[in-house]
C-alpha cells in the first residue's frame, strides 16, 4: 500500500493547529493552517542555514514597528560587500531578521531583541527577476510567507529609495 500523498511542511508556524488523520484506504483528512513556504510573485523561500551566515549590518526601525534588526548574507553577498562591488552578483542572498525592541531587564539603558517579528529575504537573479531590479523578495512570519499584497510593496520602496545602491538598503557595517 501507499500512504496518501500529503505534503505537510516542516515550516509549520508555532501555534498552528494541525490535525492530520491518515487511514488506510480512505482519503486523508487534513486540517492544516496554510504554510506557504515560498513568497507569492517571487517564489522566494527561507534559505537553509541563514542563521549561520555572516553579519552585514544592524538597524533600528522606529515608529509603529519599533524593531531591532540584523542583516546577514551568504558568501556571495559578503564578498560583494567587502569589495564594495555593485551590482551584487547573481546568487546573492540577503536575510533580514527582525525582533520587537525590548528594554533589557538587566541594564535599563539597553534595548535588546524581543519576540521575532519577520524574516525578510532578497535573492539576486538578474534574469528571473529582471522586472524588479534583479531581485526577488520574500517576507516571512513564523516561517510562513506574507501575502501577495505585502509583497507588492517590496520593490516599489526599494526602487524609490535605493536604486543607486542596487536596490539594497543595508550597508556593510565595519
Residues making contact with a second copy (CB under 8 A):
51-55, 57-63, 65, 68-70, 72, 97, 99, 101, 104, 106-107, 109-113, 116, 157, 161-162, 169-171, 173-174
Least distance to a second copy from the beta carbon of 154, Å? Answer: 13
Least distance to a second copy from the beta carbon of 86, Å? Answer: 15
Least distance to a second copy from the beta carbon of 85, Å? Answer: 18
**Residue partners of 86: CB distance under 8 A and separation at least 6:** 80, 165, 166
30 three-state secondary structure: strand
Residue among 6 and 55 whose Cβ is closer to a second copy:
55
Q: Which residues pair with 100 in a beta bridge?
A: 67
Buried b (16+ CB within 10 A) or exposed e, 85-105: eebbeeebbbbbbbbebeeee
Q: In terms of DSSP bridges, do strands 29-32 and 54-61 run parallel, antiparallel, or are they unpaired?
A: unpaired
Residue among 19 and 63 whose Cβ is closer to a second copy:
63
Residue among 101 and 151 whose Cβ is closer to a second copy:
101
Amino acid at each position: 500500500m501507499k500512504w496518501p500523498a500529503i505534503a505537510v511542511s516542516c515550516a509549520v508556524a508555532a501555534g498552528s493547529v494541525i490535525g492530520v488523520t491518515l487511514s488506510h484506504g480512505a482519503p486523508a483528512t487534513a486540517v492544516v493552517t496554510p504554510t506557504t513556504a515560498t513568497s507569492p510573485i517571487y517564489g522566494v523561500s527561507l534559505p537553509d542555514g541563514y542563521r549561520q551566515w555572516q553579519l552585514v549590518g544592524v538597524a533600528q526601525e522606529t515608529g509603529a514597528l519599533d524593531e531591532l534588526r540584523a542583516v546577514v548574507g551568504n558568501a556571495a553577498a559578503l564578498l560583494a560587500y567587502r569589495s564594495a562591488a555593485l551590482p551584487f552578483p547573481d546568487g546573492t542572498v540577503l536575510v533580514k531578521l527582525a525582533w520587537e525592541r525590548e528594554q533589557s531587564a538587566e541594564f535599563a539603558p539597553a534595548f535588546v531583541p524581543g519576540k521575532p517579528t519577520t524574516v525578510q529575504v532578497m535573492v539576486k537573479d538578474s534574469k528571473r527577476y529582471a522586472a524588479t531590479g534583479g531581485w526577488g523578495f520574500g517576507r516571512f512570519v513564523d516561517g510562513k510567507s506574507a501575502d501577495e499584497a505585502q509583497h507588492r510593496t517590496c520593490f516599489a520602496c526599494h526602487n524609490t529609495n535605493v536604486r543607486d545602491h542596487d536596490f539594497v538598503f543595508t550597508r556593510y557595517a565595519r
